[in-house]
Chain A
């Protein structure tokens, strides 16, 4: 690949060192794409400016300082595919060619000799191979004399086509695209819901590719040890990106389960720790099928920190500096969790169900029961909201300044008034991403630990209009059923039905 940092013809509103690039996104988990990119820019300390982005299309335009930055930014991204140096853009091939001539004619001599290849990437549409070949030939004025190589060319040029949906109703938009609505309606197209001709075209030179192939590597279907609630590989890796996990950073999952997040964090070089209230999840059910075996399978044992059995409300994490003699709780660069929703597994925390039980060891046959090897401490049901409180406080305590908390929360989407984004004085909300299922959704909330300290804990912030759920309501304390303690669980078993009174 020809290494040149030579600037293209300046784009009007860009400061001098910035260059335009095209990012080709995967058209999945759209609300996660921008936050992932932002996180990676923060991680690598890359200056960028998003010039055009829409959840509806796979192509975004971004300004960056150099090809090095571009390559780095995308190198561990999961939700993008590639990044290209922008050679030209246009609504039609005519305007695309004109733009290419204007921007890049001074660069053409650099690509005269290297081997190259042209490729099409179409979004929401396609055209026959013969048409593509004809269109590629229309770029012959670039004067590339090098051999055309289908495998591993030195330079890859990609023509990107974006087809707009037929459903656009804005006449001025049609006019801008130079289209006649009547004619469009009558023209057949390979994708019946979209226009027969692309409304946006780009030519780009490949600069870097993403880490999207990791999804295949960490595919749950091929993983040695998984459980019923294991997070899929793609979203685990995205979460690790959002948490800014990198080589030698310390990451922790307090609900580690079968270790989906732990493995994802380790993939990006983090030393990963995890704990669970249920040691059986960590140890596995039979030899060779345990959390550790996943790390062995992927060859990432050098990043396996430790797994232990612990409860968020009585955590052993924290230490006394041997020199200063002062207690320090700030340990982790990242805390990632998908707390139990209480649907499959039921929420538990240590403690007796009976609050009036005397605080003395339970003795049986003259032996304190808790000293026995097979002792299982009593657990009591736990309110989801109380657990959120605990996670936020725990993260505020145990994250280093600048460290990140990524937490997944389920919501029955219809009743938005029951979901409030938890807030904490020491945790700054970075992004909210939503994964929609049919009747419910889950959200990934990302927070950064601030460097100043406030001792105050949680306040509820309303997500949308409606009343915030009163976390400490007397009703919650009185009721002890799993459903009463967990509104999401109740909705789940009610089939996410709307109460009759609210139906139209």
Chain B
């Protein structure tokens, strides 16, 4: 789980969809890893407008990173080949047009957004307190049945329809 991703996720429980407390999810017992990833300033400058900055600051703090309080202002970098398949590792060509200050900001964003990952740990909803586990960097948002698919079940109950349990084995069929 990256900070980048956490910036787009809130609690999966239906009842929390109306509570602002469910975003961002709070990291708990996070075990971090940092992996070197190719620096891609064009991608970062495109990503920046999409980020919810205050939420990113909150999440970063939980993982021990300090970010400026307001969203840095970086001009969109575009290269002639920006929209075509990017050439890998061609740092110098891709950074053209960015000032030193921009460069510094983008390097910092690169480290926080792209290189840092929570390998093991939990993400906790500030509204209902549900804890989502993170295992081998993969977060699990599946809900136990008492929290998930409420509406569908309720609908079935309303219509008074019943399922037949004996068919269950057929459904597991695999080839």
Interface residues of A (CB under 8 A from B): 43-44, 72, 75-76, 211, 214, 246-250, 267-269, 271, 273, 275, 277, 279, 282-283, 292, 299-311, 313-323, 325, 327, 331, 343-346, 349-362, 369-371, 373, 375, 377-378, 381, 474, 477-483
A268-B141 contact in complex given A317-B8, A361-B146, C-beta closer than 8 Å: no
Does the CB pair A301–B2 fall under 8 Å? no
Does the CB pair A246–B83 fall under 8 Å? yes
Does the CB pair A349–B142 fall under 8 Å? no
A369-B144 contact in complex given A246-B83, A319-B24, A327-B17, C-beta closer than 8 Å: yes
A-B pair count, CB < 8 Å, reads 225
Shortest Cβ distance from B39 into A: residue: A302
The docked-state distance in angstroms from the alpha carbon of A357 to that of B84 is 53
The docked-state distance in angstroms from the alpha carbon of A282 to that of B140 is 11
The docked-state distance in angstroms from the alpha carbon of A344 to that of B44 is 39
User: For B167, what are the chain A residues with a Cβ–Cβ distance below 8 Å?
Assistant: 479-481
User: For B148, what are the chain A residues with a Cβ–Cβ distance below 8 Å?
Assistant: 311, 313-314, 350-351, 377
User: For B144, what are the chain A residues with a Cβ–Cβ distance below 8 Å?
Assistant: 361-362, 369-370, 375, 377
User: For B146, what are the chain A residues with a Cβ–Cβ distance below 8 Å?
Assistant: 358-362, 370
Shortest beta-carbon distance, B15 to chain A, in Å? 11
User: For B32, what are the chain A residues with a Cβ–Cβ distance below 8 Å?
Assistant: none
Q: CB-CB contacts of B51-93 with A at 8 A, as 1s and 0s?
A: 0111100000000000000000000000000111110110000
Interface residues of B in 7-32 (CB under 8 A from A): 7-14, 17-18, 20, 22-25
Shortest beta-carbon distance, B20 to chain A, in Å? 4
User: For A248, what are the chain B residues with a Cβ–Cβ distance below 8 Å?
Assistant: 42-47
Shortest beta-carbon distance, B86 to chain A, in Å? 5
Contact residue among B1, B39, B44, B163 (Cβ-Cβ distance under 8 Å from A355): B163
User: For B141, what are the chain A residues with a Cβ–Cβ distance below 8 Å?
Assistant: 275, 308-311, 314-316
Does the CB pair B170–A482 fall under 8 Å? yes
A353-B168 contact in complex given A305-B5, A308-B138, C-beta closer than 8 Å: yes
Contact residue among A43, A299, A319, A477 (Cβ-Cβ distance under 8 Å from B83): A43
Does the CB pair B140–A355 fall under 8 Å? no
Contact residue among A273, A279, A353 (Cβ-Cβ distance under 8 Å from B140): A279
Does the CB pair A313–B4 fall under 8 Å? no
* Residue B108 interfacial (CB < 8 Å): no
Shortest beta-carbon distance, A100 to chain B, in Å? 32
User: For A352, what are the chain B residues with a Cβ–Cβ distance below 8 Å?
Assistant: 145, 153
Q: A302-B114, A305-B2 are in contact. List 10 more A-B contacts (CB 8 A).
A: A273-B5, A306-B1, A309-B138, A309-B142, A319-B8, A322-B53, A373-B133, A377-B144, A377-B145, A480-B164
Does the CB pair A282–B138 fall under 8 Å? yes
Shortest beta-carbon distance, B75 to chain A, in Å? 14
Does the CB pair B138–A279 fall under 8 Å? yes
Shortest Cβ distance from B140 into A: residue: A309
Does the CB pair B37–A320 fall under 8 Å? no
The docked-state distance in angstroms from the alpha carbon of A273 to that of B47 is 14
The docked-state distance in angstroms from the alpha carbon of A303 to that of B35 is 13
Does the CB pair B171–A305 fall under 8 Å? no
Shortest Cβ distance from A228 into B: residue: B175
Interface residues of B in 102-141 (CB under 8 A from A): 114, 131-133, 135-141
User: For B39, what are the chain A residues with a Cβ–Cβ distance below 8 Å?
Assistant: 302
Does the CB pair B17–A318 fall under 8 Å? yes
